[in-house]
Structure 1
Amino acid sequence: DRAQGRGPATGDLSRGDDRPLYWARLALSRELRAWTPRFDLDDRRREALHSALETASRGQSDIHHPGHRTKRVLVTGFDPFTLDRDVRIGNPSGATALALDGTLVQTPDGPARIETVVFPVRWADFAEGVVERALARHLPHLDLFTTVSQGRQGRFDVERTNGAWRGGFADNENASSTGLVPVADPATQPQWTSTTLPYRQLTEADTGRFPVYDNTEVTEIPAGGTQPVTRPDGPTPGSAARAGGGGDYLSNEIAYRVTLLRDRLRLPDLPGGHLHTPVLQFGAENTNPQTGTVTDPDFERNRADIVGQVRELVRTAVTATG
């Protein structure tokens, strides 16, 4: 409601800011872990309450699409991350999820309703199947999906290929994980999955001030090889993944997991893939984490422009696949 302009907005931050939700969830989690109620609350029940807080506050339990006369679109975002580096950081994909949830975009084929979900930046949650639990039952009923995360400075990327590899970068628990992406039925797990988003239309359309690229680069260990090689035009036959177009962090992993889920559910005609947004930057005079302010006009403008362009990219994708 705050992000979409409904009701009061207390505090000093603009409505579109995703960080208050993240901060509130952390505070609520802390209170819940320390809570000593008058009734008995064992570890199992406390963990169930914490799970309810996590799923409800991320929109994972209220994905509701209308009937078939309206196109059905699902968009995912992420929490802020690398907060040890700069505690002020936000995530434009999380802000996009708040701004677009439950909204309509108009296309030549009629309206499309967007439902959104936010995911944590934690390796363990992904290994435990948080993505599949939230999305598996919805994918067969969608007309389009895109996972979204923060990528490079000054550009959008439509990631053509996703890799089955974790590169080990520390998550929001300062935990690291390196190796094959852990999924159900690993015996049938592919090294690579591919986007089915209309990447040519997305790169050619005028959707906003940031350029949009069709990113085909991957890093692989070629068949019979031992060392990683970066390929500008996608993987070669029989290679082992070391980074998808979206890298080897959780942005690549969510793209890999959802497109693998699409393929395992035998939905070859469902358009879906991953979209990397530009990095959300503060103004030039506000780059010091120790002395800078928590927001500034450039930061808010950049976030609003990114969110608006994601909306237009979704509209373009639905129109192209209509």
Structure 2
Amino acid sequence: MALTLGLSLLTLPAVAHAQPAPCFDPNAPLTVEEQRLGDRLTPTGPAVGPELVRLAGFEDDVSRFTTRLCEPMSLSQALYHAAGRGTELWQAAVRRAQSPQTWDAYDDRPLYWARLLATKALRQWQPRGWQLDAATRARLVDVFDRTSRGVEEVRFADGVRRIAVTGFDPFQLSGTSVRRSNPAGASALRLDGKVVDTPSGPAVVQAAVLPVLWGSFDQGIVERFYGSALRSTPDALVTVSQGRPGQFDVERWAGRWRGGFPDNNDVPVTGVVPDAAGWPQPAVEFIETTLPHQRMVDAGTTPFPVRYNREFCEWPPGTVPGTGTPSCRTDEPTPGAASAAGSGGDYLSNESMYRANRLRLGLSATTTAGGHLHTPVLGQPADPAALTDAAFEHDRRAIVDQVVALVSVI
């Protein structure tokens, strides 16, 4: 189904753009991500993010959240409101992803943009009768963000195997790329709470969607999700992200290095992956996957080929990391060498694998397997003024269904 942007926003402007004074300060600073809420594909078309929220049926969720902010409430009530509505948004997105929908159920983008509409409201909120300082505002935003990602929803059932999975938000959204989707995030929504049949019996999956933000990783969002999961001794941790065109990659190595590519707030970071406060984290340069990679390669899932990727890059012993040219190979890291890139590169996908498995090692979770799966790259609709088309939806569905099949092999 091809859909161009000739659609009206109907009731959404009241939610996103006409927040009544004095509840919201339209001059309050927003993040780069939140500023993209106004991006359009054509000069006269609607803003992409809010339109996707409307098409998916999430405008009422956003409206309930923002409307309540304009009513009298204390700080404790505001925290409760942020946590409750964030959880409800996550649960609504999971239900939507796992049931037939008028708008494609596999579309991960509405959750992303609905979350940003809510965090924008929190950044601009002016509570009645009391002052909201910067630290408390940041706390409110963080609570909503985490709960609307499934990070706080790790609840494993008894009597079955357990698998914890994370995907990612859309990224590289500047300009007309604002309509990008991420099949890794769509896979997490599709998998959360599901019971899949594995070679060792049924397994329940708990999933979350990670931000494409260095700062959130610094604050420990990966450790928070997988730390909660590891309390239940899961059988496997699987970080998933979007990788290279036309194939899946089971990555052999995660590396302790950030290569500097900008995140969704256009912030570049280069250097050693930092620790997250409060978690046991051994200082290792490379961490090798313990997922059943050969079984995943040999399983015959379709339609994309599955490859075991052995590549890695290192700063040779005696050199200064970040200077010169790293050595890239497919054998084994050199003892004493510093990581320059894991098999999955040096961006947040590699770091999600590194952080999740550094924590696994730090907690001595010896019976838990861990590793990373890169999906094929999902393109964009052919018409530059379209939010979707049949080929785009077909490709996303094929990638997501194969992720589910590969998780079922573990």
| Same fold flag (TM > 0.5) | yes
Change (3 A) 1:303 1:175: same
3-state SS of the aligned residue for 1:136? helix
Match of 1:294 in 2: 387
Opposite residue 211 of structure 1, the aligned amino acid is P
Tell me the equivalent position of 1:125.
Answer: 216
What residue in structure 1 maps to residue 188 of structure 2? Answer: 97
Q: Following the alignment from structure 1 to structure 2, what is the Cα–Cα distance between the partners of residues 114 and 108? A: 15
> Using a 3 Å threshold, how does the CA distance of structure 1 residues 218 and 107 change in structure 2: closer, same or farther?
closer
The answer to whether the Cα contact below 8 Å between 2:154 and 2:225 also exists between their aligned partners in 1 is: no
Indicate yes or no: 2:311 matched with 1:224. no
Kindly provide the CA deviation profile for residues 166-214 of structure 1, in whole angstroms up to 9, marking residues without a partner as x: 0000001111110000015999511111110011111111111111110
Per-residue deviation, residues 225-268 of structure 1 (Å, max 9, x unmatched): 56311112242222111110010000000100111111111122
Q: C-alpha deviations, 1:14-43, integer Å up to 9, x for none?
A: 111000011111111111111223232422
How is 1:1-322 mapped onto 2 (pairs within 5 angstroms)? Answer: 1-5=95-99, 9=101, 13-43=103-133, 44-67=135-158, 69-84=159-174, 86-140=177-231, 141-184=233-276, 188-225=282-319, 227-282=325-380, 285-286=382-383, 291-317=384-410
Secondary structure in 2 aligned to 1:269?
A: coil
Amino acid at match of 2:288: S
Question: Matches of 2:366 and 2:186 in 1, distance apart?
Answer: 30
SS in 1 for 2:408: helix
Greater radius of gyration (CA)? 2
Unmatched runs of 5 consecutive residues or more in structure 1: 318-322
* Equivalent-residue separation in structure 1 for 2:111 and 2:199 (angstroms): 35
* Structure 1 counterpart of 2:19: none
1:248 aligned partner, one-letter code: D
Shift of 1:216: 0.5
Deviation of 1:47 after TM superposition, in Å, equals 2.4
- The answer (yes or no) to whether the contact 1:158–1:274 under 8 Å persists in 2 is yes
Q: Structure 2: which amino acid aligns with 1:99? A: R
Shift of 1:137: 3.0
Separation (CA, whole Å) in 1 of partners of 2:302 and 2:131: 51
Q: Deviations over 1:63-107 (max 9, x none)?
A: 11011x111111101111100151111101100011111111123
Offset of residue 134 of structure 1: 2.3
Number of residues of Structure 1 aligned to a counterpart in Structure 2: 307
Answer yes or no: is the 8 Å Cα contact 1:161–1:234 preserved in 2: no
Can you give the 5+ residue segments of structure 2 that lack an aligned partner in the other structure? 1-94
Q: TM-score, normalised by structure 2?
A: 0.72
- Kept after mapping to 2: 8 A contact 1:163/1:252: yes
> Quick one: structure 1 residues 307 and 41, their matched pair in 2 at CA, closer, same or farther if it must change by over 3 Å?
farther
Q: CA deviation at 1:136?
A: 1.1
Q: Give the Cα separation in 2 of the matches to 1:263 and 1:100.
A: 25
Q: Pick which of 30-39 and 194-203 moved more.
A: 30-39
Higher helix share: 2
Q: Percentage identity across aligned positions?
A: 47
Matched residue type, 1:264: G
Alpha carbons 1:282, 1:298 under 8 Å: kept: no
Q: What secondary structure does 2:388 align onto?
A: coil
RMSD: 1.8
- Distance in 2, matches of 1:273 and 1:169, equals 22
Letter in structure 1 aligned against 2:162: R
Mapped partners of 2:199, 2:247: distance in 1: 27
- After the TM superposition, which segments of 4 or more aligned residues of structure 1 sit over 4 Å from their partners? 184-188
Amino acid at match of 2:150: G
Q: Secondary structure at the match of 1:175?
A: coil
The alpha-carbon distance between structure 1 residues 184 and 60, as it changes in their structure 2 partners (threshold 3 A), is closer
TM-score normalised according to structure 1 size: 0.90
Answer yes or no: is the 8 Å Cα contact 1:219–1:229 preserved in 2: yes
Partner of 1:320: none
Contact 2:126–2:132, Cα closer than 8 Å, also in 1: no
